[in-house]
Amino acid sequence: MSTLEFFLAGTFSAATIFLLAALGELVAEKSGVLNLSVEGMMAVSAAIGFLVTYETGNHLLGFAVAGVAGVLISLVFALTTITFLANQVASGLAVGILGLGLSALIGRDYESLTIPSTDGIQIPVLSEIPLIGPVLFQQNLVVYMTFLLAIIIGYTLKHTRLGLAIRSTGENPHAAQALGFPVFLIRYGCVAFGGLLAGFAGAYASTIYTPLWADGMIAGRGWIAVALVVFGTWKTGRIAFGALLFGMVSLGELIAQSMGASIPSQLLSSLPYIVTIVVLAIISTDKARMRLHSPFSLGETFDGTEGR
């Protein structure tokens, strides 16, 4: 595999972690709930997903259990913010920190263990094409599923009744309730869906992308996913583009170094974060447009009473 092939192929697999988690966060935010516990949910799911896959050798089971774990943690968050009306930012941070601690506890006896890595799918004929083959047609199944999921979520949010219900809940829960949408149920569902995808992202990180468990291995990727949602101005296409960009930047840094580029590696390491800040700053300069894209009631608690 040449350096270029590795770079392009690796971009997709690196982007998958970001994209999975960001899609889940997108759905939660579209319903008006800002869940900052993505990093913690991913960590717990990564630990549990690894544990299950390690013990059973079954990747599918690992993914399933990790998804359930993500849902359970997100429900803790949903319960405090949606039912008990706690502040979303504070609760999200608290649940996230809880998740990080919990993941260390769960993974304690599995620290630094590894599982055999899985091969990508070889799509016949197409995977033989030079350059394009290894980049596009030899990826892991999860990579394809994730990008497919991005399309499905994008379509659902924009063109279906369910999407309308979610969006109106996020824009104005009072109006949504008046229209007869079950606001609480929708928000619970969206947060749980976010937990499910964060769980899958964690399992992907610990069983496929880097098939080992080490405490702290999520290493900030959950936060990048949260930033990606804003980066992509709550639009799936842009989020997918952002995820690829982040994957590219995080790999490009390593490749630039291996090729002897004389850019300080510390600067390169901080590039993904610098890009986030710059893009956020650019997007935010146009306040009107920012407000147009951001779910209007994002981060606000809703107690089910009429009007405001």
Partner 1 sequence: MNSTSRKLPNALARTLTAIATAGCLFSTAASAEPLEIGVLLPSPIADVGWSHALNEGIAAVKEKYGDDVNVSTIENIQEGPDADRIMNKMIGDGQQFLLLGSFGYMNAGLKLAQRNPDRTFLHASGYKTAENFSPFTAKYYEGAYLMGMAAAELTKTKKLGVVSAFAIPELISTINGFTLGARSVDPEVTVDVIWINSWFDPAKAQDSAKALLAGGADVLFSNAQDTPSVVTVGEEAGAYVFNLNSSMKEYAPTKYLGVVKTDWAPFFVASVDAHLAGSFEGKNEWLGMNDNVVVVEDWSSDISADMKARIDAMHEEIASGARHVYDGPLMNQEGEEVIPSGERLEDGAILGMDWHVEGVNSPLPK
What does the binding site for partner 1 look like in residue numbers (CB under 8 A)?
1-3, 5-7, 10, 14, 104, 108, 111-114, 117, 205, 209-212, 214-217, 219, 221, 250-251, 254-255, 257-262, 264-266, 269
In angstroms, what is the minimal distance from the CB of 219 to partner 1? 5
Tokens of 39: 């990093």
Q: Which residue has the tokens 């359970």?
A: 72
- Residue 29 or 215: the one with the smaller Cβ distance to partner 1 is 215
Exposure of 93 in the CB half-sphere (CA atoms within 13 A): 4
Among residues 180, 147, 36, the alpha carbon closest in space to that of 96 is found at 36
Nearer to partner 1, 149 or 251 (CB): 251
For partner 1, the closer CB: 205 or 240: 205
CB of 290 to partner 1, least distance (A): 32
Distance CA 10, CA 48 (A): 25
How near is the Cβ of 272 to partner 1 at its closest, in Å? 11
d(CA 119, CA 121): 7
* Least distance (Å) between residue 214 CB and partner 1: 4
User: By C-beta, is 43 or 186 nearer to partner 1?
Assistant: 43
Nearest distance in Å: CB 297, partner 1: 35
Q: Which is nearer to partner 1, 143 or 176 (CB)?
A: 143
